[in-house]
Amino acid sequence: MEHMEQNLDLLPKNITDSTLIHLRLGDVVAGNECHEIIKRPLEVDYIKSLVSNDTNPKYVIGKCFFAVPSSTNYEECINKSNEYLHNVINELQAEHFNSGNADIDLCCAVKSKLFIQGRGFFSKLIVEIRKKLNLNSIETRTHD
């Protein structure tokens, strides 16, 4: 919490009034391994349904992640991740918050008014922290 307060200037100014959506990108978007296939990202229409009545400004965090062992079709995964990210941003009229730093992304997620869980352990961690702080999150079905 102290680290978060020291880095508020790195977060969007309206983050405490915003909805933050985490997207797991990279290997799970187009990977061919079993663990990647079962962790495909949430459908854009499903995410859209979660925020259908939400008038908060919306931010998306996420960057390409490749687990070990991961499929080696990196270029395809990156291209499809970029396409997916673009679709989510357009459909939700959201902004991609790209801090380039997982710690800052975590701070952003904790400070947001509402957090929507994506896939992966990072998203699970955020939900658990928010639970401890009695903050609102929308948990989605995950397989990790």
Query: Which secondary-structure segment (H or E) carries 134?
Result: none
Q: How far apart are CA 128 and CA 142, in angstroms?
A: 14
Q: How far apart are CA 115 and CA 109, in angstroms?
A: 6
Return the domain boundaries, the chain: 2-138
**3-class SS at 26?**
strand
CATH code for the structural domain at 2-138? 3.40.50.11350
pLDDT tens for 101-134 read 999 999 999 999 999 999 888 999 999 999 999 9
pLDDT tens for 18-65 read 999 999 999 999 999 998 998 899 999 999 999 999 999 999 999 999
Task: Provide the whole-model pTM.
Answer: 0.92
**Residue 4 pLDDT:** 84
**Residue 1 pLDDT:** 81
Peptide bond between residue 69 and the one before it cis (omega within 30 degrees of 0): yes
Answer whether residue 144 shows pLDDT above 60: no
pLDDT tens for 52-96 read 999 999 999 999 999 888 899 999 999 999 999 999 999 999 999
